[in-house]
Structure 1
């Protein structure tokens, strides 16, 4: 798709009365829609990478003794702590459905073979999926649905189209209407399929006894709320309810007024068949306001997808406790320094100030601007507190690469360098130098992080003050029969946490086995 961005034009004169009525129902105005369009058309200022984070330069590889100490400390503290487990799907856009929809819309077995389609579109996951289709959780239902088609066509290229249609729209499967968190991903006792939602719910339930209270916040599409309620009711057996004494489950929806327009390759607003404007969920960044309302001691944010293998769940939960324990330890250290330096009776000590500057670089990845050397000790102390008095997150970082995942980078920000998590779509891809820098970064972040949003004096931070104020960027997706560009808001752990302090802990690769693509449905 050509994603060039011409000069913005005023599109408000093209809106019909029905369009404006839709805007009123959504609680938006045509001026807001115009601003969305202009944002899609304008080349925004991209992130500028200085270097990638690596071991001893942003990423900590913890020693066994440190891990043991953190686990022991966590065991002592957790019973008195309230935990909020904030679970998001990495993208409301469903890559699995999009891959199948694109194949169903574009593949014509009379014009090309399936193999040629796969090679032309590099859809190798699609080839694997059909080769191992018998492992598909709904295979028996699929076979039943296919009886209405010609028996001889089932193992042909045309048969693959029939199967795709039944998977997307067929009775008792109907993936086209399922949110990603309700996709089945493994068999339980060889009888029933377990969804991502169930997997995360049961995973968190096992951790509930370790805390004073656990609040599970699932970010889900509002139109799918009934489906989630039905699944939750089905798994809420007396035994499960007994375990939920200190666990609550809540659902968070993307506000309808946050949804944004999309444009086609002619930069025209995309419309549905009934001529209504297509609105798209602008990514998980829209949940920042919900995050801002949480009052628990620890907020643990994770993507819904990391539950593919049951074997990793116990060690993964142990690793999460390490992140949470590190968060508590680092928060205490930050609060101690701020309290010390802001005490009205504190006598400025140049030696202590230089010691703190080195300490916050080592422990919090805080790099103060170079001109601080010209400041007085009092001015240095004030700046230290300003940089340290921010929301804090301790994130997992994995050595290796994973397509589409954010990477930890030192970026140019304000008056110096800052450690941030950068998504590939935030880059200036016209710069070969930036592309090479990003490609060669050794680590990626899997969306596993423990967060603290309370200040040293007990007050809560206003998270809106610590995010990137850019309105968003273009993200290309497949919809129906065409590529479209949607407005993606700064990601929850990307632009929306840009001004947070970030600590990175190396996570073993084996603990991240995400459920994302077609191959995962049959693995």
Structure 2
């Protein structure tokens, strides 16, 4: 099935023929649905700390930072913003010239409220000889939209979200990338330094570096810190082969194999190369202006405090197991694993080997928000490969839609995953875990796509916060909805939280 030319192409990506055979086999067999125990809820897998507990966790976190531990803020930022502008692309291509849909009317009625207004006005003046207001007065709305989207204008249709102007300030507008630098200074700095890492696509790397060169010193002076800002790209070796509907390799017109990015789960390799004790993970578009940051900062410190408290206890118990724990200590450790780490042994024998396996692994605390109907995953108690039950974040694609009980759990789930994670990635002896060892490879996902009008099947790796972290210790903490402010469409920037 694979020619010598195929094998050469595969090798250039750092992939083996065996991996390709495995991927093609996965197209044939599909991935098993997960077996669920229950949706997580308050008191049943989700912690809801009160005001006193929050202060205590914040104090724990600030003490941890003061010890000089290495903390990194990790921001997946490779996605292009094209989906944000789907409605505006449709308007430019429509057979009418004036705003007609509710979306279009809202955009043009409020255009001066966008942080990019001045920049857009300037490119309209340059390219059309008129500013936004004059173009709209002439009924030339499409020129305004085109100058926002196209390469000869702001090129927002092709730029990554991280480099769009999101928020207005008296000193000038800010991009999400800049907002993450500010956040890094506010809750993730230690030893007078904030380490911030962005994963970006190859074609946007130089643009990100240029923006950092332009802005980082200003924020460093503002917060009295130094920045260590690093970047990485998704590895070619994490790309996956595309298949035809009959599960044979999909080929380009020139006969070469078609590879596709493996989804955000591929970033577990990037995360694995970060040198840190604690890593915060948050999506690029979930940022707010400074006036709303105090709530975000408070809750980031709370979930980080929860993490380092539990990690400290886990480390003490691992040392006890090394020393030879007595029966009373074994019971205490088993209670911690069951109640604090929400891991149910089911039929497994609870001995030192079992307890060590559940304690000596990466740990993450995930902020979850009350479900308000946003699409995406949620917190569940799920069966693992070893027959135990633990907390996981699941996407709808991992759930058997023909199982009424599971669908009821999913649709009636009380909480949602906003991608608000803080991770502990070193063991009790100070060694970094090899994170790919903790991936559940059976939690991938197959989707239908097309290229040049031909149908194809695409394979996504286990998601970064789903199957890629399946064998971690997971703790859920309820955080306020105010800490979750994603920007899915350009008009989301008109919400109060982004003004």
Query: If the TM-score is normalised by the length of the shorter chain, which range does it land in?
Result: 0.7 to 0.9
Partner of 1:7: none
What pairs with 1:356-395 in structure 2 (closer than 5 Å)? 356-372=333-349, 380-395=351-366
What is the aligned partner in structure 2 of residue 4 from structure 1?
A: none
Choose the corresponding residue for 1:177, options 137, 142, 158.
158
Name the CA distance, whole Å, in 2 between partners of 1:297 and 1:219.
19
Length-normalised TM-score, structure 1? 0.80
* Equivalent of 1:59 in 46, 50, 71: 46
User: Do the aligned partners of residues 163 and 215 (structure 1) sit closer, same or farther apart at CA in structure 2, a change above 3 Å counting?
Assistant: same
Return closer, same or farther for 1:260/1:471 CA change in 2, 3 Å cut-off: farther
SS in 1 for 2:168: strand
How far apart are the structure 1 equivalents of 2:140 and 2:454?
Answer: 23
Distance in 1 of aligned mates of 2:222 and 2:108: 42
Partner of residue 504, structure 1: 476
SS at match of 1:215: strand
* Deviating more after overlay: 244-253 vs 51-60: 244-253
When residues 200 and 444 of structure 1 are mapped into structure 2, their CA distance, relative to the original with a 3 A threshold, is same
**Per-residue CA distance 1:269-327 (angstroms, 9 max, x = gap):** 77789887664332222121232233422122222222134332122112111111211
Contact 1:315 1:511 (8 Å CA) reproduced: yes
Q: Alignment partner for residue 408 of structure 1, among 372, 379, 385? A: 379
Is 1:397 the counterpart of 2:368? The answer is yes
- C-alpha distance after superposition, 1:405-455 (max 9, x if no partner): 321101122223221111223223344443332121101121112211222
SS in 1 for 2:167: strand
Match of 2:272 in 1: 292
Kept in 2, the 8 Å contact 1:102–1:481? The answer is: no
SS of structure 2 residue aligned to 1:333? helix
Secondary structure at the residue paired with 1:176? coil
Deviates more, 1:324-333 or 1:422-431: 422-431
- Relative to 1, partners in 2 of residues 1:498 and 1:196: Cα closer, same or farther, differing over 3 Å? same
Match of 1:353 in 2: 330
Pair 358,23 (structure 1): closer, same or farther in 2 beyond 3 Å: closer
* CA distance, structure 1, for counterparts of residue 351 and residue 76 of structure 2: 42
- Once the two structures are overlaid, the 10-residue window that deviates more, 485-494 or 131-140, is 131-140
Q: 1:486 aligns with which of 437, 442, 458?
A: 458
Secondary structure of the structure 2 residue equivalent to 1:175: coil
- RMSD of Structure 2 on Structure 1 (CA): 3.8
Pair 1:198–1:180, CA change in 2 (3 A): same
**Deviation at residue 339 of structure 1 after TM alignment:** 1.7
Q: Distance in 1 between matches of 2:108 and 2:20?
A: 41
Deviations 1:113-137 (A, max 9, x none): 986xx7xxxxx75664455444342
Q: Does 1:419 align with 2:406?
A: no
Alpha-carbon distance in 1 for matches of 2:216, 2:412: 46
Residue 167 of structure 1: aligned partner: 148
Q: 1:188 aligns with which of 164, 169, 172?
A: 169
Partners of 2:17 and 2:135 in 1: how far apart? 49
Q: Output one character per residue of 1:29-63: Cα deviation in whole Å (capped at 9) or x when no partner.
A: 67655654543454211222221100110001112
Taking structure 2 as the reference length, the TM-score comes to 0.84
> Which whole-Å deviations, capped at 9, do the CAs of 1:336-386 have from their partners, x for residues lacking one?
222223314x4x32x5433433333221112112354xxxxxx62332222
Q: 1:171 deviation in Å? A: 1.7
Any idea what SS the aligned residue of 2:308 has? helix
In 2, Cα distance between equivalents of 1:441 and 1:193: 38
- Equivalent of residue 109 in structure 1, options 70, 95, 98: 95
Per-residue CA distance 1:3-30 (angstroms, 9 max, x = gap): xxxxxxx5x46x9x6x777545434467
The answer for the alignment partner of 1:470 in structure 2 is: 442
Residues matched between the structures, number: 489
Larger displacement relative to structure 2 (423-432 or 450-459): 423-432
Q: By how many angstroms is 1:331 displaced?
A: 0.9
> Which of 120, 130, 135 pairs up with 2:113?
135
Partner of 1:177, secondary structure, is coil
Paired with 2:136 and 2:382, the residues of 1 have a C-alpha distance of 52
Looking at structure 2, the residues matched to 28 and 384 of structure 1 have their Cα atoms a distance apart, in angstroms, of 36
1:221 aligns with one of 197, 201, 215? 201
Q: Identify the match of residue 334 of structure 1 among 307, 310, 314.
A: 314
Q: Distance in 1 between matches of 2:9 and 2:168?
A: 42
Judged with a 3 Å threshold, the aligned counterparts in structure 2 of structure 1 residues 425 and 167 are, in CA distance, closer, same or farther, namely: farther
Deviates more, 1:491-500 or 1:81-90: 81-90
What residue in structure 2 maps to residue 39 of structure 1?
A: 26
Gap regions ≥5 residues in structure 2: none
The separation in 2 between residues aligned to 1:48 and 1:36, in whole angstroms, is 23
Q: Which moved more, 1:499-508 or 1:241-250?
A: 241-250
For the pair 1:451 / 2:423, whether they are aligned, the reply is yes
1:222-261 maps to which residues of 2 (within 5 A)? 222-237=202-217, 240=220, 245-261=225-241
SS for the counterpart of 2:426 is coil
Aligned equivalents of 1:266, 1:160: Cα separation in 2:
46
Instruction: Give, in whole Å, the separation in 2 of the partners of 1:514 and 1:162.
Output: 28
CA distance in 1, matches of 2:95, 2:7: 43
Between the aligned partners of 2:40 and 2:329, the Cα distance in structure 1 is: 28
- Give, in whole Å, the separation in 2 of the partners of 1:133 and 1:495: 41
Cα 1:308–1:276 change in 2 (3 A) is farther
Q: Which runs of 5+ in 1 are unaligned?
A: 1-9, 119-123, 373-378
